[in-house]
Structure 1
């Protein structure tokens, strides 16, 4: 192999512009572009997977604290049921992140007064919002 093929598909060429100034990178092979795209897609997928974590943690919290009174599944949407299903709560237009925070900090009838940490509150709200 000779020339650019000898250096492999990740060969980057350091080049100077015609006028004096900063150097720039040029991709030496089309496969390097494919590699860069695949790497960025992998990073985006990893970030998306991390975003799912709070909702999964919130579901686990709901399963441990709320299932004695609420149905917490995504397809449980009976708003006439008391207390309402989590799916029905999530479907209410008035249930924004702020209103959920206020609601969870305020005593309501027979609902136990839980003292959620900030991260527990964030996780529970993420789970409720994932049911929309």
Structure 2
């Protein structure tokens, strides 16, 4: 069995790095050539606090209790839904929602995310 020379090791390492970089670039782009969007802070907050009761475009697990909240995409597409109406709603206690204290900056992020679900 032949031993590899220093030049051989360097070529092997460089080849491995080039292959890893190429795989990373392929992974970071979709088939249409665009890079996938990272989850916004609002989306992460909704996923942490809201998806237990609210679906996002019908993706929630069907629950047996009668306190299932409305789909957030449907809320976003209601004619009366605005940033102001969502902010007021998030700051108002509701009997059928848990008492989560949402900081104003988090509320802004959640509102921005919900409004981003609106379909034209």
Q: TM-score, normalised by structure 2?
A: 0.56
Structure 2: stretches of 5+ with no match in the other structure: 1-36, 60-66
Q: Does 1:87 align with 2:102?
A: no
Aligned partners of 2:43 and 2:58: how far apart in 1?
A: 14
Aligned mate of 2:53, from 69, 80, 91 = 69
Q: Does 1:123 align with 2:109?
A: yes
Q: How many residues align?
A: 75
Aligned partners of 1:88 and 1:76: how far apart in 2?
A: 9
CA positional deviation for 1:109? 2.1
Runs of 4+ in 1 over 3 A off after TM superposition: none
Greater length-normalized contact order (CA 8 Å, ≥ 6 residues apart): 2
Aligned partners of 1:107 and 1:115: how far apart in 2?
A: 10
Which SS does the other structure have where 2:109 is aligned?
A: helix
Larger Rg over CA atoms: 1
Which SS does the other structure have where 2:73 is aligned?
A: helix
CA-based RMSD: 2.3
CA positional deviation for 1:122? 0.8
Aligned mate of 2:91, from 97, 101, 105 = 105
Aligned mate of 2:41, from 46, 57, 66 = 57
Aligned partners of 1:121 and 1:86: how far apart in 2?
A: 15
